[in-house]
Amino acid sequence: MHQTNSKLRFRTKSVLTGWSFVLLAVILIFVFYFYPMLQALILSFQTGTGSNLTFTGFDNYSRLLSDKTFIVSVKNTFIYLLVQVPLMIILALFISVLLNDSKLRFKGFFRTAIFLPCVTSLVAYSVVFKYLFSGNGLVNTMLLKLHLVSAPIEWITDPFWAKITIIIAITWRWTGYNMIFYLSALQNIDHSIYEAAKIDGASSTRQFFGITVPLLKPIILFTSITSTIGTLQLFDEVMNITKGGPGNATQTISQYIYNLSFKYAADFGYAATVSYSIVIMIALLSVIQFKVAGDKNG
Amino acid sequence: MAKSKRFFMYLFLSIAAIVSIFPFLWMVVSSTNQSVDVTRGRLLPGTHLLENLRKLLDTTDLQLSLMNSAKISITTTLLALLIASLAGYGFEVFRSRSKDIVFNILLLSMMIPFAALMIPLYRMFGQISNVFPWMGIDTIVSVILPTVTTAFLIFFFRQSTKMFPKELLEAGRMDGLSELGIFLRIYLPTMKTTYAAGAIITFMSSWNNYLWPLIVLQTPQTKTMPLLISTLGSGYAPDYGMIMIAIVIGTIPTALVFFVMQKQFVAGMIGSVK
């Protein structure tokens, strides 16, 4: 009896010690993520300016569907997502496979150079890109000198090219970041697998699709989900390169939420509703990405 | 065939490296040139570095913004490492079913977009301002608190803790160390590379954070470097040389942190991916 008692006390003590290690983090995440998340849900059913809010049921949600600015923002965000995320992932994979070649020289230099964009702040590089791509900016000057174009491209002021500029900018900033994940994973693959494939006469293309891609699938899934979440929240670049313009041609959902809350007449309720549209999109897209990755697994 | 393949490999990597580095070079070169020369596309270093710097010091409160950014990033990094490593260690070493459930719930927070949090957080800190002004809107605390704990960092530490030799734990217990003692005296020194990688990730994202500071910091006295750079860049008649020196100065801390700890960073990342 005495023995079981002290054993019990020991177990309770170790359970308590375990919880005390994680408690602070758990509290902070609940206070600063889950509680505000709930607050945003409640807000999304309210309307009014500033802190004068009243409940209006699903009014905000029906307003969403006929809100042209919202629809344009969603469209823009999805154009960035569908073009940029696959482009960046393929580029990062390709570069990391080249960098993983055991005979490659200057490996450290290439790796550091391509990772370098990650050290800049989104604001700083956005401002640099804004000037590089301005009408009389360096990019146009070089394109003209090389006779690649006959007139300067309206990178920032044309609705189509402004989107391209944003896509180029994000790709520049994040490809190296994703590459590091693939490089780390590639270094964990046993070289003998490739040796065996070589003996069997598999070309490097076949090795890439037959060995590298399947083995990196968890990491590819991870990077595509984080990139998707990142792109759906795109804000800093658009705010600092194009300000969302021309018109609303480059505006993203996050920027629209910011404008609704802090630029126009502080409509927190409706802004919260718009923000929930991102929550729903992230949830849906993540489920789809998991499903797609899972199916190929068989 | 093999030779031409090698050639294209080097060509491709060289182009990628040049494209990656070029905006940096241009930014550094432009910070030494006059505004007119920057717009003319001058690619050679000039002699206006000190003049640009003086203009920047005259028209903005650069030191103040640097100090604000430094205070926020250093505090955030130290607190984030402590909180996340305690939690990551706790979740891995004292495993239980209920703790696994809680851990998975925490991971869900990674899916919550900041856009959905910013309005409630802004209102929350508005209310705090009425009671505790020192941690309400427009304070450094209000920037730090919502960003200091991320599920990603907890996940990162938990993954790395899987590699921590459990015999050391037993040895510590035999020696009569308390659980916290084991954590502080054995775990912390053993996991240096993990801490270094975590520090780089946190410092960079904190130093570069823009949206939340933009919302919550409202007076010039609390401006951080990204806010300063953003306002400089939004003018109608920008002084390019001056803006470029501001960007260079704003990039130096994160670039330094990265280069000093690059080895540990890569090692730490590899540890977490395994």
User: Percent of chain A, pLDDT > 70?
Assistant: 94
Q: Residue A1 pLDDT > 70, yes or no?
A: no
Beta strands in chain A (DSSP E): 46-47, 54-55
| Three-state DSSP state, A261 | helix
Highest mean pLDDT among B68-72, B132-136, B228-232, B253-257: B68-72
Q: Which of B38, B116, B124 sits opposite A276 (nearest CB)?
A: B116
Interface of A with B in 102-141 (CB under 8 A): 104, 109-110, 112-114, 116-132, 136-138, 141
Cα-Cα-Cα-Cα torsion B50, B52, B53, B59, nearest 10 degrees, comes to: 140
Do residue B109 and residue A14 have CB atoms under 8 angstroms apart? no
Q: Residue A172 pLDDT > 50, yes or no?
A: yes
Q: For residues B219 and A190, which has the higher predicted lDDT (pLDDT)?
A: B219
Q: What is the mean pLDDT of residues B213-242?
A: 90
CB contact, 8 Å: B9 with chain A? yes
Look over chain A and give the mean of its residue pLDDT values, rounded to a whole number: 89
Nearest to B183 by CA among B169, B197, B166: B169
Q: What is the mean pLDDT of residues A68-77?
A: 96
Per-residue pLDDT, A184: 85
Q: Chain A closest CA to B47's CA: distance in Å?
A: 20
Do residue A124 and residue B229 have CB atoms under 8 angstroms apart? yes
CB contact, 8 Å: B154 with chain A? yes
* Separation CA A191–CA A52 (nearest Å): 65
- Cα angle A211-A215-A219, degrees, rounded to a multiple of 5: 140
Q: Residue B272 pLDDT > 80, yes or no?
A: no
Per-residue pLDDT, A298: 36
Q: Which ipTM value was assigned to this complex?
A: 0.90
Q: Which residues of A touch B100 (CB under 8 A)?
A: none
How many contacts does A have with B, using Cβ atoms within 8 A?
Answer: 241
Q: What is the pLDDT of residues B233-262, one digit of tens each?
A: 887 778 999 999 999 999 999 999 888 877
Q: Which of A32, A117, A127 sits opposite B146 (nearest CB)?
A: A32
| Three-state DSSP state, B59 | helix
Q: Residue B273 pLDDT > 60, yes or no?
A: no
Q: What is the pLDDT of residues A26-44, one digit of tens each?
A: 999 999 999 999 999 999 9
**CB under 8 A, 24+ apart: contacts of B55-58:** B55/B239, B55/B241, B55/B242, B56/B242, B56/B245, B56/B246
Q: For residues B233 and B86, which has the higher predicted lDDT (pLDDT)?
A: B86
Q: Which of B119, B233, B274 sits opposite A127 (nearest CB)?
A: B233
Report DSSP letters for A230-242, one per residue. Answer: HHHT--HHHHHHT
Q: What is the pLDDT of residues B202-211, one digit of tens each?
A: 999 999 999 9
Q: What is the pLDDT of residues A215-243, one digit of tens each?
A: 899 899 989 989 999 999 999 999 999 99
| Three-state DSSP state, A47 | strand
pLDDT band at residue A122, thresholds of 50, 70 and 90?
very high
CB contact, 8 Å: A43 with chain B? yes
Per-residue pLDDT, B262: 74
CB-CB neighbours of A36 under 10 Å = 24
Q: For residues B40 and A8, which has the higher predicted lDDT (pLDDT)?
A: B40
